[in-house]
A = this chain, B = another copy of it.
Amino acid sequence: MRLDFSVAVHSLFYLDEHSPRKIASRELAASLDLNAVVIRNILSVLHKKGYIEGTVGKNGGYQLKKALADINVGELYDVTIPPTLSYARFITGQSEGINKADRISSNMAETLTDLFTLADDEYRAFYHRFTLADLKRDLYQHGYFKQLVKNKNK
């Protein structure tokens, strides 16, 4: 779900902000105001994908492995919210063709799936245009990101 992406962004910002200090998931949980288990699941994905490194034990914790300027927002989005392969629950009609005489009903699923998939591609492409460094700058200079998008769209 979309929260996973927000948690990933927030965590990476936090690690960057406190770099090179090692951050425990408990500390992140406090900043994110979320349960540490939720955080750890997402950190585990970020670790597997090479965004962060972690050590366990008394002085353990997580650190960034990449600079924010080298982390693409779209890649992070794809990692944390994988594309939905099926839009089945948003689709009407009888895909099994119970009523073959109704050509609309029997063809709707394929057409709507293409429409939603192509729209989702476009949606993801938007995120791919930015790095986490672009986004982090907006944290302390709110409005920066909006302006950046406006300039890129010109």
Binding site for B on A (CB under 8 A): 1-3, 5-7, 9-10, 13-14, 17, 30-34, 73, 87, 89-94, 99, 102-105, 107-108, 110-112, 114-116, 118-120, 122-123, 125-127, 135, 138-140, 142, 145-146, 149
- Closest residue on chain B to residue A149 by CB atoms: B118
Contact partners of A31 in chain B: CB under 8 A: 93, 99, 102, 104-105
- Stoichiometry (number of copies): 2
**Given A107-B142, A118-B146, 4 more contacts at CB 8 Å?**
A110-B142, A115-B135, A118-B149, A120-B123
- Closest residue on chain B to residue A3 by CB atoms: B90
> How far apart sit A39 and B22, CA to CA, in the bound complex (Å)?
55
